[in-house]
Amino acid sequence: MERNPMRRQLQTLRKSLFDQGYLDDQFVQLEELQDDANPNFVEEVVTLYYRDSGRIILNIEQALERKPFDFNKLDAYMHQFKGSSSSIGAKKVKAESTLFREYCRSRNGEGCMRTFQQLKKEYATLRRKLEAYFQLARQAGPVETACRPK
């Protein structure tokens, strides 16, 4: 049981990210790679994710402004985005990506647009939550080992 109140708060916050479905096991794999020599590894990877994926989001936005929709291109962009999101364990974002791709395959433009709006919300929400988590982690000091959520 963690005695340090800030670390307890950190553990509670971390558990909520998994319990509420924002993150999956891939995030734990990232944490398991972090060590004393690379104490900010997870945050660095997540930062790179938001940088890379931000470009893809922009590409999709621009593609959705062009009519008629190029569903093959939209699908290709989202495939790339989904792959990146999977790499950090972004569970809800990944789910919306899958749905978007299904709408691409069925040539449903309205479905694509609706899902993309939802995806952007989940993407932004996760970013906020992870930023808060990393800020708290920095204040709390190093956490000893990654542990899988029960």
Partner 1 sequence: MSDEDIVNNNLTALVVDDSPMIRKLHEMHLKKFGLKVQVAENGKNAVDLFRCGASFNLILMDKEMPIMDGAEATKELRIMGVTSMIVGVTSLDSIFERQAFMEAGLDHCFTKPLTSENIIFLLQELNNKNNEEN
Tell me the closest approach of the beta carbon of residue 2 to partner 1, in angstroms.
25
Give the distance, in angstroms, between the CA of residue 124 and the centroid of all CA atoms in the same chain. 9
Residue closer to partner 1 (CB basis): 11 or 50: 50
**Cα-flanking dihedrals φ and ψ of residue 135, to 5°?**
-65, -45
Residue closer to partner 1 (CB basis): 29 or 62: 29
Q: List helix spans (H) across 66-140.
A: 71-87, 91-105, 109-140
- Amino acid (one-letter) located at 114: R
Tell me the closest approach of the beta carbon of residue 35 to partner 1, in angstroms.
8
List of residues contacting partner 1 (CB under 8 A)? 26, 29-30, 32-33, 38, 41, 44-45, 48-49, 51-52, 79-80, 82-84, 86-88
Contact 10, 143 (CB under 8 A): yes
Residue closer to partner 1 (CB basis): 12 or 52: 52
Residue closer to partner 1 (CB basis): 22 or 89: 89
Tell me the closest approach of the beta carbon of residue 1 to partner 1, in angstroms.
28
Contact 126, 22 (CB under 8 A): yes
